[in-house]
Chain A
């Protein structure tokens, strides 16, 4: 509590977040380009500023000075408000995200639920962007991206809920409070007991962030440009900012829920001087993994993407919840939890393997009418 006035305290903390977000976006943009450059055996940005550190700043200036184009037939308010509807929920979700026991704006007892629920609202913004652009390809892209995001939101939430079910708290098990979830991981982080939930969470997070292999909505190649096709300048930058804020949000969430946050392995009693670097390190690991996945994985087709979510991730998420429920009811030790989860992870790997090796769908017969049709050029 800074000062004695809760209003002042809240305001100052919000200010910290408001300042941290653009800085984080710029830093992450630069780091992403450097990391991907290194994976590709090249240097990345080097010219603008020492070692290219000011490259993202230069890009921001360029985007700010671009002409703000709006299609004439676009639905004005839908088109113009869409970027904000995409950005604001992610930023609001940051409000309840604790970095250490005391470093948050407001910690809610429903923290995990609040974060996941609010960040889902960005999907509405995407559909608004696609519809408001009055461009047939934008609508197609927006529908596809909405379908992808909704399909992957469900396993994401279920994996997080599965962990929340078995989180150790002072009065029994099960809590949605993020600080308590982290406190319960003093000895063993939940990745050990809940490896299946971790796998599902990571894959679903990749899909939520539009990263390879799930980046159909933002794929510049192929036929449709995606929902962002009519945006330019700062409005487009807002979408990119939303992507990076989401990245930070999901990485911090993953390190809190699965890797033990600031607690493991040093424990709860060390001061913030050690806890903050610890959680930053864990978040950085996740962020690095997301950057890496972008560099080395190609893109899945939309039907393969949807099939993977509904036919692999969702049943496995159900299995994880049921397994967790059984452990809770019969009060089995945590090792059983870990074993059941590990078996689920092996099943996940096998199912992925099976899906990949499946032969391609049968080719449709060409209708006679189409064959005889002459396309005039």
Chain B
């Protein structure tokens, strides 16, 4: 009987502790900065266009093949307003297939795609599977509207993409392949 008495004593102490329940959705725990939601595209406010140039590196490295990207000539380059020769035309990510592995973020040469670390990206339930295929406008929305405040953009995958933040006065481009 002693074991059960010990259990009763221990659980009396445990029952007196503050419960650990977080009453979602009225209370939500704070997501860390690195929280990995679904990928979204970043908006370049300086040049008023997406960072993404449609180079398709992310689509090639995606393990689940969930991205479809096309590229177009950048009309703003012709007008001299932007340094990007090409710009993304269409960009579809199927969130139902995406496994949030973060490889697209790692390999992006232009630092244009990040994982959305807000609650919006966690509450992704839809009634219809087709609603989970995000187009370019939906992907740019968190960044454009300012909802995505502080995405996680550590210089990642240095060994694999050869990308690192440009030092002062360094020429553009020149990755090792």
Contact = CB atoms under 8 A, between A and B. Distances in A.
Interface of A: 37-39, 41-43, 46, 292, 295-297, 348-349, 352-353
Given A292-B8, A292-B11, A295-B11, A43 B1 contact: no
Contacts of A348: 1
Contact of B19 (A37, A295, A352): A37
27 contacts: A37-B19, A38-B15, A38-B19, A39-B15, A41-B14, A41-B15, A41-B17, A41-B19, A41-B20, A42-B19, A42-B20, A42-B21, A43-B21, A43-B23, A46-B23, A292-B8, A292-B11, A295-B11, A296-B4, A296-B8, A296-B11, A297-B4, A348-B1, A349-B1, A349-B2, A352-B1, A353-B1
A43 B11 contact: no
- Top 7 closest A-B pairs, CB basis? A43-B21, A349-B1, A38-B15, A42-B21, A43-B19, A39-B15, A42-B19
Interface in B1-59: 1-2, 4, 7-8, 11, 14-15, 17, 19-21, 23
A49 to B, nearest CB: 14
A53 to B, nearest CB: 16
Interface residues of chain A: helix, strand, loop or mixed (majority): helix
Contacts of B20: 41-42
Nearest to B17: A41
Interface string B82-121: 0000000000000000000000000000000000000000
A37 B17 CA distance: 12
Contacts of B14: 39, 41
Contacts of B21: 42-43, 46
A42 B18 CA distance: 8
Contact of B7 (A43, A296, A352): A296
Nearest to A350: B1
Nearest to A295: B11
A297 B11 CA distance: 11
A352 B19 CA distance: 34
A46 B19 CA distance: 12
B98 to A, nearest CB: 32
A348 B20 CA distance: 38
Nearest to A346: B1
Contacts of A42: 19-21
B27 to A, nearest CB: 11
A371 to B, nearest CB: 39
B21 to A, nearest CB: 4
Given A37-B19, A295-B11, 20 more contacts: A38-B15, A38-B19, A41-B15, A41-B17, A41-B19, A41-B20, A42-B21, A43-B19, A43-B21, A43-B23, A46-B21, A292-B8, A292-B11, A296-B4, A296-B7, A296-B8, A296-B11, A297-B4, A297-B7, A353-B1
Nearest to A353: B1
Nearest to A348: B1
A43 B18 CA distance: 9
B22 to A, nearest CB: 10
B3 to A, nearest CB: 8
Contacts of A46: 21, 23
A353 B3 CA distance: 10
Contacts of B4: 296-297
B17 to A, nearest CB: 6
Contacts of A353: 1
A296 B5 CA distance: 11
A353 to B, nearest CB: 7
A140 to B, nearest CB: 29
A349 B1 CA distance: 6
Nearest to B18: A41
A349 B11 CA distance: 21
A203 B22 CA distance: 36
Nearest to A352: B1
Contacts of A296: 4, 7-8, 11
Contacts of A38: 15, 19
Nearest to B3: A356
Nearest to A46: B23
B26 to A, nearest CB: 9
Contacts of B1: 348-349, 352-353
A173 B60 CA distance: 92
A39 B8 CA distance: 10
Most buried by B among A41, A46, A348, A352: A41
A5 B147 CA distance: 76
A157 to B, nearest CB: 23
A251 to B, nearest CB: 17
A297 B4 CA distance: 8
A43 B17 CA distance: 11
B5 to A, nearest CB: 10
A42 B22 CA distance: 9
A43 B2 CA distance: 29
